[in-house]
Structure 1
């Protein structure tokens, strides 16, 4: 079995929310970093805000880290 990152932040939906799974289990839909950190804290990750940029722990799919909109805002 291939190794997988334990936290996956799925691509942004049209409403800007991103599904979050931890070890293959859905934990919710985050709309910003603050909500993501809260979901991770609830799963037992005490220093959740410190791991968001760690590619060994978090895989950001279909959008870069900290991107919450499905499409970039129009200037």
Structure 2
């Protein structure tokens, strides 16, 4: 993953899941910050955990921050 490429977390859907876009492609749907961390690890940031996700400036949270998982 290119370090300058943003990650976008979309607003929660009706089930509380949020689409995750990395490098311009939707990589899946996360149900928690832990799920976002797994997608980041799969994208090449193996050492990332939940705290990295919450603190990162690479991630753009739409429709609420890392605490928003309910629709």
Q: How does 1:1-75 map to 2 (within 5 A)?
A: 6-49=6-49, 50-54=51-55, 56-70=57-71
Q: Is the 8 A contact 1:5 1:59 kept in 2?
A: no
Q: CA RMSD in A?
A: 1.8
TM-score in terms of structure 2 length: 0.79
Q: Which residues of structure 1 form unaligned runs of 5+?
A: 71-75
TM-score in terms of structure 1 length: 0.76
Q: Which has the larger radius of gyration?
A: 1
2: CA distance, partners of 1:43 / 1:55: 15
Q: Is the 8 A contact 2:33 2:54 kept in 1?
A: no
Q: Which moved more, 1:59-68 or 1:41-50?
A: 41-50
Q: Which moved more, 1:41-50 or 1:19-28?
A: 41-50
